[in-house]
Amino acid sequence: MITFIACIVLLIIGYLTYGKFVDKVFGTDDRETPAVRLQDGVDYVPMNNKRIFLIQLLNIAGLGPITGAIQGALFGPVVYLWIVLGTIFAGGVHDYMTGMLSMRNNGGSISEIVGKYLGGGMKQVMRVFSVILLLMVGTVFAVGPSSLLAMLTPKTLDKNFWLIVVLIYYFLATLLPVDKLIGKIYPFFGVCLIIMAAGVGVGLVAKGYPLPEMQLTNMHPSDIPIWPFMFITVACGAISGFHATQSPMMARCLTTEKKGRQIFYGAMVAEGVIALVWAAAGVSFYESTGGLLAVLTDPNIGPNGAVYEICMTILGPVGGILAMIGVIACPISSGDTAFRSARLTIADWFKVDQSDVKKRLALTVPILGFGAIVGGFFDYSVIWRYFSWSNQTLAMIALWAAAVYLWQKKKKYIIAAIPATFMSAVSATYFLAAPECLGLMKHGKLSLAYGLGAVVACVFLGIFLKTTVLSKKQMEKEA
């Protein structure tokens, strides 16, 4: 219990100290923001800061810090360490920098930001990469809730029926001005997400669940190695590239840069606290990682069933309601903003004016059509297979772009370069080792994956240093 409480305290201290340091390094000022300068009543809409925070939290969180953290709990209490350190030094920096850089670049999407700081070639790669990622997320979070709703309603209302209902909602959320639908319902569900996490966290302590203290040992029942799999599994609870696609939406609504730390870094810390609560629940509720694995792999329970069971047991009937909101509304909230972000990314790509409803329709219809076709005919587990890796790879690229920006501005680029190097090692090693990728682990060559992953990270760091710091020193020497 001491470890659990200490970790929550550390996250709060991290926001108050390192978050403030990152904000100072970036250097916010009183310049006019895109929400004011480019106000169009559709995507650039000034909104209240509290509302923006709750929307940002739900945008980046959804079901991610719940199910990801529960599955991360299979590794044991060591997962606490990654959630805390990852949130403070990687996820918080990532979300803050992508949000603030978007504000400094007219609310531009992550692909445009990356292109500006890493070059035109990377811009094209990121445009395709981020759109595919967003469409995958949107489709998965349409199919998943649809399947669950089908289980809870009469047989005549099957998965395809609910998929159509969800996609109709997605259509409206993607098309309508951000303050008309998302701006009205997201704050409510954001509060529900916070209440659910707070209730579960307090319940774990008050009811005396055996919250284990920190152990730096791997407790995964299947002996899946911590490196790099834990760092990919937890994802949204520590750092997630998906957040880089979401932050620009709120960057178009903030009326002052001074609130950037509260909105972007703060929402990531709040998500870290939520993830920590659910990791603790996963570690303690089923008494052992073996018991947790049995529940997660049971086709009749799975991660969603585990969330429902934990909420019902700890919080009673109210917990059941919150659990249903969590496993149905939260993924839907990730899906609709994924499709909306895809529209904005494509609009930035082809310079399509989104104040014109006909032009918004021209992008929205094919985007949602993709979701309907893929979601209706393909197993979403297949679609999801490569999401985890692509998600963290996007985070890596965004951090490298932030490091270049900070170097250009003669600021402490190390705050982005170090987590960028770390995430480069994570992404490269996972790609080399994971069964769904190159699969070196299943061939007994995990050590090779470790070595090559470290080499890739060093190469990326070397490229960064050569094209920035070392090139500057060489030019000064020649001069």
Domain that holds residue 207: 2-386
Radius of gyration of the chain (CA): 21
Give residue 285's pLDDT: 93
413: in domain: no
Between the CA of residue 468 and those of 104, 117, 419, what are the distances in Å?
Answer: 21, 11, 17
What are the phi and psi torsion angles at 12 (to 5°)? -65, -45
The whole-angstrom separation of Cα 165 and Cα 170 is 9
Q: Find all residues with CB under 8 Å of 262, minimum gap 6, and list them.
A: 49, 53
The mean pLDDT values, 10 residues at a time, for the chain of 479 residues are: 94 98 97 97 96 94 83 95 97 98 97 95 92 83 78 84 90 95 92 90 92 90 94 92 95 97 98 95 91 91 85 86 79 88 95 94 91 64 66 95 96 98 97 91 94 97 89 59
Q: 139 with 380: CB under 8 angstroms?
A: yes
Q: Find all residues with CB under 8 Å of 303, minimum gap 6, and list them.
A: 67, 70, 71, 296
**Among candidates 235, 267, 239, 245, which has minimal Cα distance to 340?**
245
Give the number of domains in the chain: 1
CATH number at residue 154: 1.20.1740
410: in domain: no
Q: 42 with 353: CB under 8 angstroms?
A: no
The whole-angstrom separation of Cα 280 and Cα 303 is 15
Cis peptide before 212 (omega within 30 of 0): no
Give residue 79's pLDDT: 96
Tokens of 154: 């009469």
225: in domain: yes
The whole-angstrom separation of Cα 159 and Cα 320 is 22
Q: Which helix (H) or strand (E) holds 140?
A: helix 120-152
Q: 164 with 275: CB under 8 angstroms?
A: no
409: in domain: no
Give residue 383's pLDDT: 56
Beta strand residue intervals within 326-479, DSSP E: none
240: in domain: yes
405: in domain: no
The whole-angstrom separation of Cα 328 and Cα 23 is 35
Secondary structure of residue 130 in the 3-state scheme: helix
Q: 416 with 406: CB under 8 angstroms?
A: yes
459: in domain: no
The whole-angstrom separation of Cα 235 and Cα 233 is 6
147: in domain: yes
